Amino acid sequence: MSPFTGSAARTDRWEHLRVDVADGVATVTLARPEKLNALTFGAYADLRDLLAELSRERAVRALVLAGEGRGFCSGGDVDEIIGATLAMDTAQLLDFNRMTGQVVRALRECPFPVVAAVHGVAAGAGAVLALAADFRVADPSARFAFLFTLVGLSGGDMGAAYLLPRVVGLGHATRLLMLGDTVRAPEAERIGLVSALADEGGADEAARVLARRLADGPALAHAQTKALLTAELDMPLAAAVELDASTQALLMNGEDYAEFHAAFTEKRPPKWRGR
């Protein structure tokens, strides 16, 4: 995302999310514990806009996405979203569905790694938010469910039919998106849906540790790796290899590449600057 801004001022307060930024790590918490962090129109819009702001500011080098209370996120609020959408016309519904997709694109396109800290339920849109993260650190209590067909909609919501087969394979993705079955943490780890299993009650802390490791590393290298992982999903090999070559040539002119060589020569840890 471009770092250039227009006239809009930086958002000082986010109404639908809790946001903390410290030493390059942002922690974004879905904070409706009484509703299992069910998403509202405002929460979707805040996530979309927050990720765009953080991407432009370039002060964040890693982000933790977490949920307060008993679960990560139970999906769209049944009353505030599902009930409301029944009264919308097609144009309004298209606007809403495009907005939810923009959140997923923002997670995939932001220039820093996103770590989802999952405990308890991650259902419907909550499961897709976790899926769109770069890493999913799960508590043993975590359970994922892509519930869209169970409410009479396509399982391919918010990019799920694009992302899930690329994470767990077509066979598992077909089962999960068509049947809406719940996948508990051990199976999720086995099929590759979970990046790492934490100790009981430890998903948030394990996600913070991973985010800290990422933030202390070479930020530009991480950003370009994430960009290539997304861009090359649909490329033939020849185009991917050419994009890799161009990217490496640019990074070889960067300060971090020279810093690695200096640190190796001087037998000290590199001082990464993200440049």
For the segment 127-180, what is each residue's pLDDT rounded down to a tens digit? 999 999 999 999 999 999 999 999 999 999 999 999 999 999 999 999 999 999
β-pair partners for 117? 137
CATH number of the domain encompassing residue 152: 3.90.226.10
165 and 258 in one domain? no
90 and 49 in one domain? yes
Q: Is residue 193 part of a domain?
A: yes
Helices (H), 110-254: 125-132, 160-168, 170-179, 185-190, 203-215, 219-231, 237-252
Percent of the chain topping pLDDT 90: 92
The rounded distance, in Å, linking the Cα atoms of 1 and 154 is: 30
Q: Is residue 22 part of a domain?
A: yes
Q: Is residue 3 part of a domain?
A: no
127 and 261 in one domain? no
pLDDT on residue 138:
97
pLDDT on residue 1:
63
230 and 157 in one domain? no
52 and 133 in one domain? yes
Averaged pLDDT, 223-243: 95
Q: For the chain, how many structural domains are there in total?
A: 2
Q: Strand 121-123: give its sheet, edge to edge.
A: 121-123, 143-145, 183-184
β-pair partners for 65? 28, 116
pLDDT on residue 22:
95
180 and 120 in one domain? yes
Averaged pLDDT, 86-110: 96
Domain hosting residue 122, numbered range: 17-216
Tokens of 244: 């890799």
242 and 107 in one domain? no
Contact 157, 148 (CB under 8 A): yes
Q: Which of 200, 216, 232 is the last residue of a domain?
A: 216
210 and 100 in one domain? yes
pLDDT on residue 8:
76
227 and 142 in one domain? no
112 and 45 in one domain? yes
The predicted model scores a pTM of 0.94
Per-residue pLDDT for 4 more than 80? no
43 and 127 in one domain? yes
Q: Is residue 10 part of a domain?
A: no
Q: Is residue 166 part of a domain?
A: yes
141 and 41 in one domain? yes
